[in-house]
Amino acid sequence: YGIFMVIVGLTAVAQTILVSTDFSTTTLNSTVGADAAMVRLFVSSNLSPADLDPAGVAPERQATLDERLASLVRPGQILHVEVRLPDGRVVAADDPAARGATAPTSPDFATALGGQTATAGIDETARSEAVGTPLPTTHVVREYFPLMTDGTVRAVVGVWRDAAPIVATL
């Protein structure tokens, strides 16, 4: 009887872990899906191929793009948005301090340069790869979305989301 109870207990623990992992994955996938839709909408209505020129965004367009990126930021939700060229240089961002900075290439950024969406799990803000003003939270979810034309990645949109509401849900 004791052995049977141990087996039942171990089975219950294993099922709890599996359900928790599945719920975490589903929650993050749902968040990434919503952010991908937001990025598609932003790109289709605000960016032109000329904005992704290696020379950078035309000065007359810079303020408009930065303002529209800033309108995506919401406390407790999306904290920071950047548009980076393949060399890592930020050409537009919600934070003017980020514009023109070059972020180091990370494995996740390289994945986006390969044409795939790169999503980091919940990570500490200090390791989040965001440039510009420090983010006002301790943990974020970082996502990189490639912008492609004719099969070539022209730029990558980075989205940094506050992880606190996601953690609370989990």
**pLDDT at 1 > cutoff 80:** no
Distance CA 80, CA 110 (A): 20
The answer, yes or no, to whether residue 88 has pLDDT greater than 50, is yes
Phi, psi of 49 (to 5 degrees): -55, -35
Percent of the chain with pLDDT strictly greater than 90: 20
Find the mean pLDDT for residues 159-164: 87
SS3 content of the chain, % helix, strand, coil (to 5): 45, 25, 30
Of the segments 5-14, 53-62, 149-158, which one has the largest average pLDDT value? 149-158
- Give the mean pLDDT of the chain: 82
Summarised one tens digit per residue, pLDDT across range 133-149 is 888 888 888 889 999 98
The answer to whether the predicted template modeling score (pTM) of the entire model surpasses 0.95 is no
Please check the confidence at residue 131 and state whether its pLDDT lies above 80: yes
How many Cβ atoms are within 10 Å of 167's Cβ, its own excluded? 13
For residues 158 and 143, is the Cβ–Cβ distance under 8 A? Answer: yes
Q: Exposed (0-12), middle (13-18) or buried (19+): which is 136, by Cβ within 10 Å?
A: exposed
Type of residue at 139: H
Query: Could you read off the pLDDT of 21-62 as tens digits, one per residue?
Result: 554 566 666 677 788 888 888 888 888 888 888 887 888 888
* Cβ atoms of residues 148 and 115 within 8 Å: yes
Instruction: Indicate the burial class of 43 (C-beta count within 10 angstroms; 0-12, 13-18, 19 or more).
Output: middle
SS3 assignment, position 31 = helix
**Helix or strand or coil: residue 47?**
coil
Residue type at 144? Y
- Please say if the pLDDT value at position 169 is more than 70: no
Q: What span, in angstroms and rounded, lies between the C-alpha atoms of 85 and 107?
A: 16
